[in-house]
Amino acid sequence: MPRFRFFILLLLLLPSLAWAQRPGAAPRPGPGPAKPAAKGTPVELLKGAGELVGITTPEGVKIRKVLGNVGFKQGDTFLYCDSAYQYLDRNEIEAFSNVRVVQNDTVTITGDKGYYNGNLRTARMVGNVVMRDPRMTLTTPTLNYDLNRKTATYFETGHLTDPQNTLDSQQGFYDTNSKVFVFKRDVHLVSIDAQNQRTDLNNDTLTYNTISKIAYFDGPTRIRGQQGNLYAEKGNYNTVTRVSNFQKSAKIDTPNYLLGGDRLVYDEGRLYGEAAGHVTLVSKKDNITLRGDFGRHWRGLGRTKLYGGRPVVRNISGKDTLYMAADTLLSVESRPGTPNVRQVLYAYPKARIFKANLQGRCDSLTYDRQDSIIYLNRDPVLWQARTQMVADSMQIRQKRGKIDQMRLYANSFVINQDTLLNFNQMKGRNIMAYFREGQIGRIDVLGNAESIAYALDGDTVVTGLNKGVSATMTLRFADNKLQRITMLVNPDANFIPLHEIKEPDTRLKGFRWRDTERPTRRQVLGKQFDDRPPRKPIRKKKPVRAKRPAKKTTRGAPSAAPRKPPAPATPKPPAPVKPAARP
């Protein structure tokens, strides 16, 4: 009988033994590294407190009052203060005076007063709050810290410092895992480089990586430096290399000019920048604007290069505007430390000029902005009203924004078309053209002068042809029409009557009328200064359906019955259908 009882007891214990030996059974706790406490873990009071008092409120809330050398622990988080209230039922702590929260020996937060929620693992610090980690220090009146996510948030003024920068804002968020700060409202970043030069950045939203030291912004942002100011609405700024990468509405503003584009990369250390998309360079002193698709700027050399999309120069002087275009534009400005550098603009190749009373083309030109002189090189051609000028090289001299002189050097040839479309011609070694109120007043031909001029009777009838040769010659004009020719030094002239004029007599050697090459306003301005009004979209007209004619009816007569569809075909011939009666 005892053996039977023992056998029954063994059968009852077998399931329990099997459960204890199954693979999924939890192992016994052993020694190992401390892990962050889970939500709800009770906060542990450390030994060494000066005084401990237990209180129970009339509502039944259990409070532990701790005074002197107070310390608490929850997982990898420690809280120290001079005195505290510990709410045992709610697992919360209210700390006072010299409050310090330390997490994982990397993040330390101090303040005058603190609130710690052990269930949510959140801390709120109030009064002279200072947060430190190995890369930065943050000070603010109040701070909320989530110990699970390791993120800090403040909603009052905050001040961040690291070895190279200081940053202020009204609101902020810091992720201690990624070491990334997000600042909002009245953001001000101050960066000091190795040369002790200061750069200020202001905007309303900024993301700052404390590891890479790169600030990212989205919204109107201004950067002020020793060599000029930058503006953009999106991009980033490296506070170590001082390289700005702007993505929207980017501008560089200096005392002498303004450079802008859709995208801009600028290196403050090298004083070098690159721009792309709607690039614009504005000279503040002489009201000159350059536009192109791409641009490169050497601030230290005082040079800016525009190319792509046929860049254009616009020079506004009073009511008159001069446009110049080429494949490449190079502007030379004053550079830091040398304010008296002569300002020059180079345009090459395929340079074109357009003005209301002047058009021209050449392979390359140089514009001396200080003396207002334009030098044209390599096959230059100029047109003024019905006058064409060519030479090996030319100069356009301006005074008070208006053309004052044109100088033609070597193989000079001038053609003037009269009211009857005849070609008056003059050629020589060098030619000087003088202007008055935007029109040619006098032309001096210097050296080997030759001329052909048609004699007109009342600007309507040709009476003959004057041909002349001399060492020098002067031609007078009025209203862009040739009035008088004066030949000086060994003159030789003859008049050919109309009936004796032959074709060879009508052309000087080298004659070439190139009016088809004359650039138009649209050709010169291109897309850079497209002032045409936007086209309105053409709406497609819907097809109008033809109206069916109304059926005529007689008063009092019933309308005709609608016709029925014919019956389907059958092997038998269909019966005749009687038409409906008409009214």
Span 117-166, pLDDT tens digits: 999 999 999 999 999 988 889 999 999 999 999 999 999 899 999 888 89
Q: Cα 37 vs. chain centroid, distance in angstroms?
A: 50
Picking from 472, 497, 525, the residue at the C-terminal end of a domain is 525
Question: Is residue 205 in some structural domain?
Answer: no
Q: Are 324 and 352 in contact (CB under 8 A)?
A: yes
User: Residue 65 is encoded by which pair of tokens?
Assistant: 């009052």
**481-521 pLDDT per residue, tens:** 888 889 888 889 999 998 999 988 999 999 999 999 999 99
Among 503, 525, 547, identify where a domain stops: 525
Q: Please indicate, yes or no, if residue 451 is contained in any of the structural domains.
A: yes
Does residue 38 have a pLDDT over 60?
no
Q: Would you say residue 562 has pLDDT above 60? A: no
With a cut of 50, say whether residue 21 has pLDDT above it. Answer: no
Instruction: Note whether 219 and 203 are within 8 A (CB).
Output: yes
Q: How do residues 395-407 score in pLDDT, each as one tens digit?
A: 999 888 788 999 9
Determine the Cα–Cα distance for residues 7 and 263; give it in Å rounded to an integer: 89
Look up the pTM and report it. Answer: 0.72
What is the average pLDDT across 103-109? 89
Which pLDDT score is estimated for 514? Answer: 95
Is it the case that residue 167 has pLDDT exceeding 50? yes
- pLDDT above 80 (res 541): no
Q: What are the distances in angstroms from CA 193 to CA 164, 166, 188, 300?
A: 7, 12, 16, 18
Write down the residue that tokens 């950067």 correspond to.
Answer: 223
Burial tier of 223 (Cβ tally within 10 Å: 0-12, 13-18, 19+): buried
- pLDDT at 4 (0 to 100): 38
Per the document, the length of the chain is: 583
Residue 56: pLDDT over 90: no
CB 394 within 8 A of CB 413: no
Residue 5 located in a structural domain: no
Last residue within a domain, chosen from 87, 115, 150? 150
pLDDT computed for residue 415 by the predictor: 94
Q: Which range has the worst mean pLDDT, 27-36, 207-216, 280-289, 337-346?
A: 27-36
Report how far residue 367's alpha carbon sits from residue 333's, in angstroms, rounded to the nearest whole number.
12
Pairwise CA distance, residues 132 & 110, whole Å: 9
Instruction: Please identify which residue in the block is written with the tokens 């810290």.
Output: 145
* pLDDT exceeds cutoff 90 at 14: no
Nearest to 237 by CA among 226, 254, 250: 250
Q: What is the CATH number of the domain that holds 56?
A: 2.60.450.10
Query: How far apart, in whole angstroms, are the C-alpha atoms of residue 281 and residue 294?
Result: 11
**Residue 117 forms part of a structural domain:** yes
Structural domain includes residue 476: yes
Structural domain including 465 reads 402-525
CATH number of domain containing 515? 2.60.450
pLDDT of residue 550: 58
Cα–Cα nearest to 300, from 274, 331, 337: 337
- Structure-model confidence comparison of residues 76 and 550, the more confident one: 76
Beta carbons of 125 and 99 less than 8 angstroms apart: yes
Please tell me which of 8-12, 57-61, 201-205 the model is most confident about, judged by mean pLDDT: 201-205
Q: How far apart are CA 198 and CA 578, in angstroms?
A: 105
Residue with tokens 């310090």: 100
In a domain, 385, yes or no: no
Q: What is the mean pLDDT of the chain?
A: 83
Is residue 139 domain-resident? yes
Is position 174 within any domain? no
Identify the band that residue 116 occupies on the pLDDT scale cut at 50, 70 and 90: very high
Query: Number of folded domains in the chain?
Result: 2
